[in-house]
Amino acid sequence: MSTVGTPKSAEQIQHDWDTNPRWKDVTRTYTAADVVALQGSVVEEHTLARRGAEVLWEQLHDLEWVNALGALTGNQAVQQVRAGLKAIYLSGWQVAGDANLAAQTYPDQSLYPANSVPQIVRRINNALQRADQIAKIEGDKSVENWLAPIVADAEAGFGGALNVFELQKAMIAAGAAGTHWEDQLASEKKCGHLGGKVLIPTQQHIRTLTSARLAADVCDVPTVIIARTDAEAATLITSDIDERDRPFITGERTREASTARKTASSRASPGPRPTRRSPT
């Protein structure tokens, strides 16, 4: 009987978490046994996502910075890699404006179908693979790595933890190397340049990130999970339930039941400055 796709045991997964430098300082609130239980009898190989995640992680540690311009077509990505870029970025506002599966021109408010970004990730990877194949046939070695890792915008997750889990799996299936998740309320999501942004409590955003990591573990891919925050400018938050958020809350409430909060520039008293979180 074939062993292709046979899942690792919980012991093997736990050993990797404990000994692999990739997982240093990464905290999981679930067990290796939980991952195995969610994998079923066969784990699909996601070569592009795994390879891209490993390359992106190396770039983040070996290079001073990683340049990645936004691409919303396969040909744009090919031209960027040909010009020397080491990674590709896929922005949600680009997808909203001109590359979503609803064939609409939307503002940056997560109005487009949730599978739009994974579809563009797949399209970009197809184009990069074709460019790589042509280069190999022609003996062209001018580009060191055509299969540049793709960092994809997952917005605020398009819902709760289950939506995040499914979206992360779709990103991996399409070949995304990294995904980033913001701490806005998904149903009220707005472009970072607009007013009226509503944050979710810190503990809820941690659940988002945990769900994304769980999905990546189930797929057996070391996806680079990036946390984004709009805490620098947002003036609303859904709840004061998390004590870590309370120093920034004014106590006022809106008609929509959101709680008002101080921005970094308007706080009356000194305190920890909200920062952009690191990739894991």
Binding positions for Mg(2+) are: 153
Structure tokens at 166: 């499914």
Starting at the edge strand that comes first in sequence, how are the strands of the sheet with 259-261 ordered? Answer: 198-199, 236-237, 259-261, 249-253
- List, in sequence order, every residue forming a beta bridge with 225; answer none if it has no partner: 179
Task: Give the SS3 label for residue 195.
Answer: coil
The region that residue 192 occupies, defined by phi over 0 for left and psi between -120 and 50 for alpha, beta otherwise, is: alpha
Q: Is 219 noted as a catalytic residue in this protein?
A: no
- List, in sequence order, every residue forming a beta bridge with 178; answer none if it has no partner: 151, 224
d(CA 20, CA 216): 16
Other C-beta atoms lying within 10 Å of the C-beta of residue 60: 17
Bridge-based pairing state of the strands 259-261 and 249-253: antiparallel
Bridge-based pairing state of the strands 150-153 and 88-90: parallel
Mark the binding-site residues, compressed into ranges.
Answer: 153
Task: Give the SS3 label for residue 73.
Answer: coil
The answer to whether 71 and 117 are in contact (CB under 8 A) is no
- List, in sequence order, every residue forming a beta bridge with 90; answer none if it has no partner: 152
d(CA 198, CA 13): 37
Which residue is catalytic, options 85, 161, 191, 264? 191
Provide the annotated active-site residues.
191
